Amino acid sequence: MSNKTIKGAVDLSKLYLKQLPVGLLNDVHVSGNFFCYDNKLTSLVGTPDSVGGHFYCSYNKLTSLTGAPDSVGGDFFCSYNKLTSLEGAPSSVGGDFFCDNNNLTSLVGAPSSVGGNFICSINNLTSLVGAPKTVGGDFSCGKNNLTSLEGAPSSVGGDFDCSNNAVKFTEAQVRAVCDVKGKVYV
């Protein structure tokens, strides 16, 4: 548990930062949102321990999520970076988790459950090993190099989109590995 709480939001976006102020937010809980998107960050070292609202670190030069908060109550957006792995991602995310438009070759390190949507499209994934076990909303892994559905979530509360991959999967193949409440897009 963090020793200090910042009530409200912290916005460090669009400041051309190459790194976050190390030490300033260590051992801190931000009750609202934390924004550090659209900078030149190569690391998340220096972010709060936990964020009650949303956490947006998209549009940076991140290659790793090391230093990310342990938990995020709302959405976690790390799209449009240079991530090759999700190691260091929060262990729990209450809302959406967007990691699309990166260089991911693996989902290892992803939260084990995501309350909202999990979007990992437009990456270099060949399997879904490491994906969350449960996704409350939609699961999208389209536009990758998937040759296998190994590691797919066991349940998805919304739609499952695995279109535009190296292998054209069938709806039956998807439903055989995942309990999809919504539609399946192949």
Query: pLDDT tens digit string along 54-112?
Result: 999 999 999 999 999 999 999 999 999 999 999 999 999 999 999 999 999 999 999 99
Q: Is the pLDDT of residue 3 over 80?
A: no
Q: Is the pLDDT of residue 138 over 70?
A: yes
Percentage of residues of the chain with pLDDT beyond 90:
94
Q: Is the pLDDT of residue 1 over 60?
A: no
Q: Is 129 exposed, middle or buried (0-12, 13-18, 19+ CB in 10 A)?
A: middle
Task: Give me 49's structure tokens.
Answer: 């321990």
Q: What is the predicted pLDDT for the residue at 119?
A: 98
> What is the rounded CA–CA span in Å between residue 23 and residue 171?
49
**pLDDT by residue (tens digit) across 19-61?**
998 788 888 999 999 999 999 999 999 999 999 999 999 999 9
Predicted TM-score (pTM) of this structure? 0.95
> What is the rounded CA–CA span in Å between residue 109 and residue 118?
13
Q: Is the pLDDT of residue 167 over 90?
A: yes
> What is the rounded CA–CA span in Å between residue 46 and residue 41?
11
Amino acid letter, residue 116: G
Q: Is the pLDDT of residue 2 over 70?
A: no
Question: Measured on CA atoms in the order 104, 62, 39, 20, is the torsion positive or negative?
Answer: positive
> What is the rounded CA–CA span in Å between residue 24 and residue 28?
9
Q: What is the predicted pLDDT for the residue at 128?
A: 98
